Amino acid sequence: MKPKVFAMFVGPSVFLMLLFIAAPLISVLVNSFQVTQPIVEVVEVETCTPGFLTQTCVTEVKTVPILDDFGKIQTTTKWVGLQSYANVLELDRVGEAISSGAWGNILQIDFWKALRFTLTFTLITLPFVLGLGLAIAVVVNNATKAVKGPVIFVSLLPFIITPVIGALSIRWLFYGDGIVTVWLEALFMTDISVAANGWAVEFLMMFYRVWHVAPFAFVIFYAGLQTVNQDTLESAIIDGASRWDRLRYVIVPHLMPLIIFITLIHLMDAYRAFEEVVGFSSQSQRITLQWLTYDLLQPDDAGNRAISRASASAMLTMIGIVLILILPLRRTWRDHKGG
Tell me: the pLDDT tens digits for 252-308?
888 998 999 999 999 999 998 998 898 888 888 889 999 999 998 888 776 678 889
Answer whether 155's CB lies under 8 Å from 237's CB: no
pLDDT digits (tens, 9 = 90+) for 94-116: 888 888 888 888 888 889 999 99
Closest C-alpha among 259, 227, 223, 246 to residue 131: 259
**What domains appear along the chain, each with residue ranges and CATH number?**
28-81 (no CATH), 112-338 (1.10.3720.10)
pLDDT confidence of 335, banded at 50, 70, 90?
A: confident
pLDDT at 339: 55
- Work out the mean pLDDT of the chain and round it to a whole number: 86
Around Cβ 119, how many Cβ atoms within 10 Å? 15
Alpha helices in the chain (DSSP H): 3-17, 23-31, 83-89, 91-100, 110-142, 145-160, 163-174, 179-188, 198-225, 230-238, 243-246, 252-271, 275-280, 289-296, 307-324, 326-338
DSSP result, 263-288: HHHHHHHHHT--HHHHHHT-TTT---
DSSP label of 52? S
pLDDT at 302: 65
- 130 half-sphere exposure, CB direction, 13 A CA radius: 19
Closest C-alpha among 106, 107, 81, 82 to residue 92: 106
Closest C-alpha among 193, 124, 165 to residue 276: 165
Closest C-alpha among 259, 261, 274, 143 to residue 209: 274
pLDDT confidence of 134, banded at 50, 70, 90?
A: very high
Q: What is the chain's Cα-based Rg?
A: 28
Whole-angstrom distance, CA of residue 261 vs CA of residue 89? 32
pTM of the model: 0.83
Whole-angstrom distance, CA of residue 134 vs CA of residue 20? 35
Please state the rounded mean pLDDT for residues 119-136.
94
pLDDT confidence of 132, banded at 50, 70, 90?
A: very high
pLDDT digits (tens, 9 = 90+) for 217-250: 999 999 999 888 888 888 888 888 888 888 888 8
Around Cβ 314, how many Cβ atoms within 10 Å? 24
